[in-house]
Amino acid sequence: QVQLVESGGGLVQAGGSLRLSCAASGTIVSIRAMGWYRQAPGKQRELVATIGSTGSTNYADSVKGRFSISRDNAKNTVTLQMNSLTPEDTAAYYCYAESGRRTSIYYDPVWGQGTQVTVSS
């Protein structure tokens, strides 16, 4: 079974930057897409950014131009570089990955436990 562990969250001033990292471990057969989601107090969990196995990316409109997602397939990690942070970015950030099976074409969703990002004004 694949597990995801996030790191890099914390408290930062508005306008500052923060880098989140997520490492996959366990029985890794293959990993297709990876990404980051976030959930602010009183709001639904929303997509922040995703990246495919070959590097294609997708961003939420609210973070375009400020956030950048990248991955290292050899290390089974995904990173989210966050710049020009605002208080509206305050949320719990969750790592996501699509985990492949040994003898199947199907992929299973895997989630990390989350890391808190707080942006002060």
Express each pLDDT in 19-40 by its tens digit: 999 999 999 999 999 999 999 9
Q: Summarize the chain as % helix, strand, coil (round to 5).
A: 5, 60, 35
**CA atoms within 13 Å, Cβ hemisphere of 51:** 18
Closest residue by Cα to residue 35 from 86, 71, 82: 71
> Would you state the structure tokens that stand for residue 2, as one six-digit string?
């694949």
Express each pLDDT in 51-67 by its tens digit: 999 999 999 999 999 99
Please answer whether residues 12 and 19 qualify as being in contact, where contact means their C-beta atoms are separated by less than 8 angstroms: no
